[in-house]
Structure 1
Amino acid sequence: MITEAQRLQSVQEYYFSKKLQEIANMKTEIPIISLGIGSPDLQPHPEVIEELINVSQSGINGYQSYRGIPEMREAMSTFYQNKFNVSANPSTEILPLIGSKEGIMHISMAFLNEGDKVLIPNPGYPTYSSVTELVQAEPLFYDLKDENNWLPDFEKLEKLAEQQPKIMWINYPHMPTGAKASKDVLRKLVEFATRHNILIVNDNPYSFILNDEPMSILSIDGAKEVCIELNSLSKTFNIAGWRVGMVIGKENFINSILKVKSNMDSGMNFAIQKAATKALLVDNSWYDELTNIYAERRKIIWEIADLLNVKYNREAVGMFIWAKLPNDKKDDKTFIDEILYDKKIFITPGSIFGSNGKGFIRFSLCAPLEKLIEVKKRLEA
């Protein structure tokens, strides 16, 4: 009998992979409306689509450089300079990725040995812990809690640092809660990493959704010595299925990640790179238009949350609404399943993001207004 690798014994199939299959198999008289996943339903900028079509027809379809085309790296550098006031050498400090999720694996493989400790937020993106397990490192979960605005408790972090973690994952604006980290918090994180020789990885794909103050940890003095940043074009430019991300950091960090990446893929499609370059250079009206659409949707989600008697923070940013269940509703998975089976509406349970997510639910803004209005009608009925 051929058995699977031991590393898979601690890793489960991704929640959404199983749940979406369950939903697909459900036989219902009315369509199920999903407010579960943050998959943008809006179109990319028309010029981006036009560029993709034109370049696709040019006949340039061969394998591409592992480092990405120079124009795209230049555009990524310009984007970071204009939006975050961060200077990054496009030749040595930027590495395009086939989605930032790929980068989580590459970074883990580049820097972690078996048994190394990794600081992971609770609640947080489940892939941080699953990839840590896959490379046979050891997760050290650090608490993010509602009473502390979902920010790290630095006193507790100091205790965890005694176990000599090698990497710390952070994610601000935070998914799933939408919490923002101030410049002061980012500065404290850089100082913490410097003191304890920890590599901080900030996963930063939500900065431009309903957020007036986009920030990069690399804008903090001294951050490049101990920090790298992942970013993605998926949410900001509505090209989630195109798989375009990036990692930014100093040259020796980038070179280590490239050693892994160059052995795992054969470069990003040329036409997608050219279209992504166009996306990175759109003017500010693009961001304003997205903000208006998401703000309108958010108002309806707030009304839906009020109907469900769940509490939420109107100051949160990003493309999700994180809400706390009433005290008499402790089991978030049961709560969302009752709504799924009764009203044919899918909402994400907070507990899939960690134990501190228990008793919370998450709504996605990635549904058109007419569907959100239909959700509201079903709940009112």
Structure 2
Amino acid sequence: MITFANRLQTVQEYYFSKKLREVRQLAAEGNPIINMGIGSPDLQPPKSVLKAIQDSLTETGAHKYQSYQGLPEFRNAIANFYKNKYNVAVNPDSEILPLMGSKEGIMHISLAFLNEGDKVLIPNPGYPTYSSVTNLIGASPVFYNLDAGNEWQPNFEELEKLDLSNVKLMWINYPHMPTGARGLEETYKKLIAFGKKHHIIIVNDNPYSFILNEKPRSILQVEGAKDIALELNSLSKSFNMAGWRVGKLIGNSTFLKEVLKVKTQMDSGMFYGIQKGAIKALELENSWFSDQDKIYRKRQQLIFELADILECNYDKNATGMFVWAKLPNGKSSEGMVDDLLYNKNIFVAPGSIFGSQGEGYIRFSLCIPETQIKEAITRF
């Protein structure tokens, strides 16, 4: 009899993997499903980026294995991007590690720093992969609550009351998914001080900072941040390149060397052409982001109309590519999601999948054409 690894008992299949099968089945049966549950950009990458990857295909060595640390010109482009957009200086030779998507980085970082029995601070609500990977590693999640009353920022008084003796990592995610809350300068400063005090590595997952956000921030802007912090970033959302799987890990060179030990066991380098396209994306002017924002802003206004119909409350100043909406009292997240799916053929994400603090909320994606949002509105 074949038995499976015990670690699989600590996790379930990712919610969207399972639920989207149901959504696809309903669509296959002829139901006019409008999917506004997933944050997968539907817009095209920049034309110059597509041309760069096309032109690269015939270059000498384009189809060979590539360096685990990426092309030097790719790392230089990342360093220039951080300097120009965040005013953060990073060494392209030692403080940048390209990744095949930042989701990969969550696993790499966890494998590099965590032993069985270690603890990890994880936001509630937050990205479910933080806790799933923690469980797979054999470490223990310790959830810290975020709430609207505190602008979805960590409550440091509550954090200090926890037993932090075995905590090795703390995941943060600003601009925050799913709520769209901005990362505040004061929050970043407190996080760096907290990490240094308790010898906890602070990891900021930062893929949304250029979507509906006039003041992009990096935790590495804080003085001394590199001593204790790492930052994950990605081209998936900002440049409509989710399927390309281009991410990067920025920070302390000593930390990155350890993460590289893990990465070199799990892939054989990023495809040359994808790196060439990524370089071109990172060199784009700010007008690219403002043009994208015009599209997302129009969609956001329509989602607000839909949320109003459902008698939801929401933050009009939130950032990122989602609208986080609080349901009327007494309505459950998954109950509302199923009601919309089965009765209106509209799929949205239940807030409960992001943690107990997400119960009573639903999340709309802005990765859907205006025409479909308008169609959803007419169904009411």
The TM-score normalised by the length of structure 2 is 0.98
* Contact 1:351–1:360, Cα closer than 8 Å, also in 2: yes
Deviation at 1:28, TM superposition (A): 4.2
Deviation at 1:161, TM superposition (A): 4.8
Q: CA offsets per residue over residues 249-301 of structure 1, 9 Å max, x none?
A: 11101100000001110000000000000000001110110010100110000
- State the identity %: 58
Unaligned runs of 5+ in 2: none
* Contact 1:171–1:202, Cα closer than 8 Å, also in 2: yes
Alignment match, 2:209: 207
Deviation at 1:68, TM superposition (A): 0.3
Q: Which amino acid aligns with 1:40?
A: P
Task: Indicate whether 1:313 and 2:321 are aligned.
Answer: no
Q: How does 1:96-107 map to 2 (within 5 A)?
A: 96-107=98-109
Alignment match, 1:9: 9
* Contact 1:161–1:196, Cα closer than 8 Å, also in 2: no
Q: Which amino acid aligns with 1:43?
A: Q
Q: How does 1:1-381 map to 2 (within 5 A)?
A: 1-26=1-26, 27-58=28-59, 60-329=62-331, 331-378=332-379, 380=380
Task: Give secondary structure in 1 for the equivalent of 2:167.
Answer: coil
* Contact 1:164–1:196, Cα closer than 8 Å, also in 2: no
Q: Which amino acid aligns with 1:20?
A: L
Task: Give secondary structure in 2 for the equivalent of 1:160.
Answer: coil
Q: Which deviates the most, 139-148 or 87-96?
A: 139-148
* Contact 2:75–2:92, Cα closer than 8 Å, also in 1: yes
Q: CA offsets per residue over residues 200-254 of structure 1, 9 Å max, x none?
A: 0000000000001100000001110000000000000000000000000111011
Name the CA distance, whole Å, in 1 between partners of 2:59 and 2:154: 50
Q: Which amino acid aligns with 1:48?
A: V
Name the CA distance, whole Å, in 2 between partners of 1:53 and 1:162: 50
Query: How many pairs are equivalent?
Result: 378
Q: Which amino acid aligns with 2:208?
A: Y
* Contact 2:171–2:204, Cα closer than 8 Å, also in 1: yes
Deviation at 1:24, TM superposition (A): 1.2
Deviation at 1:31, TM superposition (A): 2.2
Name the CA distance, whole Å, in 2 between partners of 1:300 and 1:57: 44
Name the CA distance, whole Å, in 2 between partners of 1:57 and 1:374: 44
Deviation at 1:150, TM superposition (A): 0.9
* Contact 1:140–1:160, Cα closer than 8 Å, also in 2: no
Name the CA distance, whole Å, in 2 between partners of 1:159 and 1:128: 22
* Contact 1:218–1:227, Cα closer than 8 Å, also in 2: yes
Deviation at 1:57, TM superposition (A): 3.4
Unaligned runs of 5+ in 1: none
Name the CA distance, whole Å, in 1 between partners of 2:161 and 2:275: 44
* Contact 1:119–1:167, Cα closer than 8 Å, also in 2: yes
Task: Give secondary structure in 1 for the equivalent of 2:284.
Answer: coil
Cα RMSD of the aligned pairs, angstroms, is 0.9
Name the CA distance, whole Å, in 2 between partners of 1:90 and 1:31: 48
Name the CA distance, whole Å, in 1 between partners of 2:285 and 2:182: 24
Change (3 A) 1:16 1:41: same
Name the CA distance, whole Å, in 2 between partners of 1:160 and 1:253: 25
Q: Which amino acid aligns with 2:199?
A: N
* Contact 2:228–2:252, Cα closer than 8 Å, also in 1: no
Name the CA distance, whole Å, in 2 between partners of 1:338 and 1:163: 44
